[in-house]
Structure 1
Amino acid sequence: MIVCKFGGSSVADAEQIRKVKSIVDANTDRQVVVVSAPGRRNKDDEKVTDMLYACNALVQQGLSCRELFKKVSSRYTDILTALEMDKKPFIPVLEEVRQMIDAGHGAEYAASRGEYLSARLIATYFGWTFLDGDPVIVINHDGTVNEATWENLRQAIKPGQKYIVPGFYGSDTEGKVKTFSRGGSDITGAILSRAVMASLYENWTDVSGVFSVDPRLVSDAKVIPTMSYREVRELAGVGAGVFHEEAIAPIVSAGIPINVKNTNAPLDRGTMIVPSREIDGHPLVGISAKTGFSRIRLRKLMLFKKSGIRHALLTMLHIFGIRPTFSLFGIDSIVWFFDSSQASISVINAMCSRLKTEFELDSIEIDQGHAIVGVIGAGVMEDTSLIPACTAAFSKANIKLNFLNYGSSDTSILFGVAAEDAQSAVIHLYKALF
């Protein structure tokens, strides 16, 4: 059995949905299809999910989302019309969703309805069974998959039937709709793949695989033919956006291969993501960068003489809503990088004041505007020429390094640079290494 996930661009309008049906019909092994909410039809268009978040924002201000929701409804009714489907049964479904959003069911409920409506529509068009992710997919508070999910899905999915499943959401342990992070339909596809022990998980998008570098920055960027689970996770972790960085987790133990393919060019081979790969003279798979980081630097003489100090400091950060992504340690110092969107300046200032007082720090500093650049590949620790080549590329481009992380992973080398230097860093590294 093959599980397929189709992203927002693949279901953006009727023409794209026809392509999806043609792809699915071409292989009878494709029996479970996960769909996203309709994405942009052109560069000036709006994603349905963004409009739904805006609907919830209006409700939170004490206003009705009725007028804005008409734009959401029109996306689906336009698709129904173009597919020559009867709109009448769908109108009450749309109205029920609007009423629930207006009743204050919250941001996660509102955002999830894009996928819900997409799956309802496509299930009718295909003549397949609609399987709602709520309540069979149970999501823990930290965003991980609750163990109850596997038994729920085993009971829900019947042999011989074909299913359309909305991506991006399930329910929390109390039965309330809960979403994964943006792009989470990839995770839903992985969950379904493991639940049915699929022979293959196909992830259909609008590009012909995972690129070694952002093709918007480098015109001759190549598609990576094969990469490992670890490589795709680490590449996604530093900004590569084709495959969600958390979507590997549900299927690692099952070893299910993933094929990233292009809905608009279905005959292209795409990228195969497998448990491990032979380096075979190709130690690197790609280079990417992620911006939007803030940096905390704290120092205290004999800092690590106190048992449990790291855990205590991290606990305080968590209290203020900050969860660092990258960490560096000196003999008397710690540096953490975290997503700047996690806390406002006022919250950060309050946290710093409390940290300095409670832990008697010698100093604590915070600044914004940082980026993390990653050089990713299974052979980064084997090629002794990589570090000199990378630092030479930075020097040639006159880019200042804020840190170098080498050795904490045998699949990546990380560099810290100013956010404004991120694109230049990627381009110069790619020219030097590829």
Structure 2
Amino acid sequence: MIVCKFGGSSVADAKQIQKVKSIIDADPARQIVIVSAPGKRNKDDEKVTDMLYNCNLMVQQGQSCRELFKKVANRYTSILSDLGMDQKPFLPVLDEVRQMIDAGHGAEYAASRGEYLCARLVAAYFGWTFLDTDPLIVIKDDGTVHEDTYTNLKKVLKKGEKYIVPGFYGCSTEGKVKTFSRGGSDITGAILSQASEARVYENWTDVSGVFSVDPRLVKDAKVIKTMTYREVRELAGVGAGVFHEEAIAPVIAAKIPINVKNTNAPLDSGTMIVKDREIDGHPLAGVSQKSGYSRLTLRKLMLFKSTGIRHALLTMLHIFGIRPAFSLFGVDSIVWFFESTQASDSVLNAMCVRIKSEFQLDFIAVDHGHAVVGIVGAGVMSETDVIAKSTIALADARIKLNFFNYGSSDTSILLGVNADQAQDAVKCLYQALFA
């Protein structure tokens, strides 16, 4: 049995949904389909999820979302008309959703309705069973999947039945609608793959697999034929956006392979994501970058002589809403990189004043405009010249290197650069290591 997830571009309009149906009809083993909310039909279009977030924002400001929701409803009624389906049975469903948003059910409820409505529509078009993820998929407060989820799903999934499932959301432990982070439909697909014991999880998008580098930066970027779970997770962690990094967890234990494929080119083989791969001749998988980081630097003579100092400092950071993504440690210093959106400058200034006073630091400062570049590959530690090639390439391109992290992972090397040089760093590293 095969589980398929189709992203927003794959269900953006009636023509795309017809492509989805052709793909499903081509293989009877494809029995569970997860759908995202309709995405952009063109570069100037608006995603349904973004419109729904704005609907909730209007309600929070004391206004009705009735007029804006008409644009949301029109996306679905247009698809229904173009598919030759009757709109009338769907109109009460749309109106109920609008009323619930206007009643103040919150941002997560509003955002989740894009997938909910799309799944209802596609289920009716296919003639398949609609399976709602609320209350089956239980999401804990930290965003991870509650173990009850798999028990719930195994109880309702029937052998031979064909299901259309909305992605992106489930419910909290209190029973309220709760969403994963953006792109979370990938996670829903992985959860259904484990629960149904699928032999493969097909993740359908608008590109023919995972690229070794962003094709918008390098025109001859190649699709990676095979990569490991760890490689895709670490590549996603540094900005590669084809597959959600958290969606790996549900399939690892079951060793279910993931096939990233293109809805618009279904015969392309795409990328297979598996537990292990042969690295002979292909030690590296890809290079990517993620910008939008700030750097927190602190120093104190004999800093680490204080027992539990790192834990105490991290606890203080958490109080101010800072959760570092990357860490570096010196003899008497710590450097943490965190996403800049986590706190305003006023909050950061207050945090620095308090930490310096409370821990009697010699120095503490925050600066912005950083990026992290990752060189990812299962054989990265076996390549004796990768460090030399990388640093020489950056030096030749006059790209300032802020840090170099080698050895903390056997699957990736991390390099810190200024955000305004991050794309140039990716291009020159790709040329040095992959071309």
- TM-score after normalising by structure 2: 0.99
CA distance in 1, matches of 2:319, 2:88: 49
Per-residue CA shift, 1:220-263, capped at 9, x if unaligned? 00000000000000000000000001110111111000000000
CA distance in 2, matches of 1:192, 1:287: 30
Residue of structure 1 in register with 2:252 after alignment = 252
Residue of structure 2 in register with 1:236 after alignment = 236
CA distance in 2, matches of 1:96, 1:359: 54
Which secondary structure state, in structure 2, belongs to the residue aligned with residue 417 of structure 1?
A: strand
CA distance in 1, matches of 2:242, 2:356: 40
Residue of structure 1 in register with 2:340 after alignment = 340
Which secondary structure state, in structure 2, belongs to the residue aligned with residue 67 of structure 1?
A: helix
Per-residue CA shift, 1:345-396, capped at 9, x if unaligned? 1221221122112211111100111000011001111111100000011011
Aligned ranges for residues 195-274 of structure 1 at < 5 Å? 195-274=195-274
Which secondary structure state, in structure 1, belongs to the residue aligned with residue 145 of structure 2?
A: coil
Residue of structure 1 in register with 2:396 after alignment = 396
Per-residue CA shift, 1:320-346, capped at 9, x if unaligned? 111111111111111111111111112
Structure 2 residue ranges without an equivalent (≥5): none
Of stretches 217-226 and 154-163 in structure 1, the one that deviates more from structure 2 is: 154-163
CA distance in 2, matches of 1:298, 1:57: 38
| Count of matched residue positions in the alignment of Structure 1 and Structure 2 | 434
Residue of structure 2 in register with 1:91 after alignment = 91
CA distance in 2, matches of 1:283, 1:148: 39
Per-residue CA shift, 1:18-51, capped at 9, x if unaligned? 0000100111110100000000000000000011
- TM-score after normalising by structure 1: 0.99
Aligned ranges for residues 12-411 of structure 1 at < 5 Å? 12-411=12-411
Per-residue CA shift, 1:406-431, capped at 9, x if unaligned? 00001001100000001000000011
* One-letter identity of the residue aligned with 1:311: H
Report percent identity of matched pairs.
76
* One-letter identity of the residue aligned with 1:227: M
Residue of structure 1 in register with 2:424 after alignment = 424
Which secondary structure state, in structure 1, belongs to the residue aligned with residue 89 of structure 2?
A: coil
Per-residue CA shift, 1:187-212, capped at 9, x if unaligned? 00000000011000000000000000
Structure 1 residue ranges without an equivalent (≥5): none
Per-residue CA shift, 1:69-110, capped at 9, x if unaligned? 111000000000000111111111111111111111111111
* One-letter identity of the residue aligned with 2:11: V
* One-letter identity of the residue aligned with 2:321: G
CA distance in 1, matches of 2:162, 2:79: 22
Post-superposition shift, 1:318?
A: 1.3
CA distance in 2, matches of 1:158, 1:316: 49
* One-letter identity of the residue aligned with 1:194: Q
CA distance in 2, matches of 1:197, 1:308: 43
CA distance in 1, matches of 2:349, 2:175: 37
Which secondary structure state, in structure 2, belongs to the residue aligned with residue 341 of structure 1?
A: helix
CA distance in 2, matches of 1:357, 1:94: 55
Post-superposition shift, 1:118?
A: 0.4
* One-letter identity of the residue aligned with 1:96: E
Which secondary structure state, in structure 2, belongs to the residue aligned with residue 353 of structure 1?
A: helix
CA distance in 2, matches of 1:413, 1:114: 38
Post-superposition shift, 1:11?
A: 0.2
CA distance in 1, matches of 2:188, 2:105: 22
Q: Which runs of 4+ in 1 moved over 2 A?
A: none
Which secondary structure state, in structure 1, belongs to the residue aligned with residue 79 of structure 2?
A: helix
CA distance in 1, matches of 2:416, 2:407: 15
Which secondary structure state, in structure 2, belongs to the residue aligned with residue 223 of structure 1?
A: coil
CA distance in 1, matches of 2:9, 2:342: 28
CA distance in 2, matches of 1:39, 1:169: 17
CA distance in 1, matches of 2:24, 2:242: 21
